[in-house]
Amino acid sequence: MKLPPTCLWRVAFTFYCLIALTSCSTQSRHRLLCVFFEGVDQTNAPPAVITEFGSPTNHSVNALASSRLPVAPIIHYHQPYEERKCLACHVSKQSQQLHAEGGELCLECHKHLIGDAKFIHVPVDDGKCLLCHNPHESTELFLLKRKGRAVCFDCHKLTKLLKVKEHTTMGEASCVSCHDPHRSNIKKLLKQPLP
Ligand code: HEC
Ligand code: HEC
Ligand code: HEC
Ligand code: HEC
Ligand code: HEC
């Protein structure tokens, strides 16, 4: 029997995915599932909806995922990524190339973030959004790369911070309870003026 070429292609692709699914990490497995169920345009696969738990709501996929993952991490998705608007950032669906560099890309949709603020945090001013955020998804809120204060400790050492009077009594308080991570009209990126 001679299979039509598109059919052969699908068989090969399915095979590839099965191999990859059984061998790769949770995150890349999930990414692959997304590609498989949503990125392949001409399949009859039901449209998979990404749930809060990071697995497409497709029964066979959930069965596969739950048999290997006792606790699926909650993944938060960037809205344009979740809506599969890859072209909002990439030059084509197949390309990893971006149509703008660094912060410029992000500010196309997040202009309000800096506005005409008087003080801008140095890494934000440098357009280095990706030092703190992931572009697609994260297990942390606000697409952050790290948990809580660890985002700030990458560049600000606690020992040095504790030399500032206001920090000596902060305990475990979140940095962003007092500081804006991006910009402010008050010096030292404070959210509220010093009393
Ligand atoms: C909001 C902008 C944005 C959207 C929307 C977006 N991407 Fe990306 N993508 C990026 C950025 C920025 C990088 C570079 C990440 C880096 O350098 O660390 C990237 C990197 C990638 C990479 C390289 C590997 C990796 O994960 O770092 C792939 C593959 C990719 N994107 C695929 C996609 C696909 C598929 C979609 C649509 C479902 C998509 N992207 C939507 C911004 C975006
Ligand atoms: C095509 C438009 C678009 C681009 C480009 C874009 N974003 Fe977004 N982003 C959105 C939308 C829409 C939301 C959801 C609504 C909101 O919070 O403003 C969002 C939300 C976010 C959030 C909040 C997520 C949450 O869980 O509340 C972060 C952080 C973020 N974007 C970072 C970035 C970064 C970093 C880049 C550059 C790599 C970027 N965005 C580029 C459209 C965009
Ligand atoms: C120094 C780390 C850092 C950098 C650099 C950074 N962010 Fe953020 N961003 C944060 C943190 C922390 C939060 C969460 C704030 C909170 O918990 O209230 C956040 C929240 C956000 C949000 C959602 C809340 C809001 O204020 O609208 C968006 C959107 C966002 N960032 C976009 C960006 C973009 C775009 C850039 C680059 C121009 C950028 N960020 C650079 C740390 C950073
Ligand atoms: C990628 C490195 C980097 C990260 C991550 C980072 N910062 Fe900064 N931050 C800087 C640099 C560089 C400066 C300017 C030099 C200095 O004061 O150390 C600065 C300055 C500051 C200032 C003083 C601003 C001023 O006007 O003097 C505050 C407040 C601040 N950061 C808060 C934060 C908070 C809160 C976080 C976590 C959300 C954070 N930073 C994460 C690099 C970083
Ligand atoms: C209780 C509120 C509060 C918290 C929580 C807080 N800060 Fe501050 N921070 C301040 C104030 C107020 C100043 C300004 C002191 C001044 O101008 O004399 C400051 C100053 C700074 C500066 C500038 C230091 C300098 O030498 O000029 C940096 C950097 C900074 N904070 C980072 C952080 C980071 C990172 C965290 C989280 C680990 C954090 N802050 C938590 C209130 C706070």
- Give the model's pLDDT for residue 46: 38
Mean pLDDT score of the chain: 77
The answer to whether the predicted template modeling score (pTM) of the entire model surpasses 0.95 is no
Residue 23 pLDDT more than 60? no
Most confident residue range from 15-24, 49-58, 143-152: 143-152
- What average pLDDT score do residues 40-67 get? 42
Domains of the chain, residue spans: 5-74, 79-189
186 within ligand 5 shell (Cβ under 6 A): no
* CB-count burial class (<10 Å; 0-12, 13-18, 19+) for 48: middle
CA of 23 to the centre of ligand 1 (A): 22
| Per-residue pLDDT tens digits for 145-183 | 999 999 999 999 999 999 999 999 999 999 999 999 999
- What average pLDDT score do residues 98-119 get? 94
- What average pLDDT score do residues 101-120 get? 95
135 within ligand 2 shell (Cβ under 6 A): yes
Closest residue by CA, ligand 2 atom 25: 142
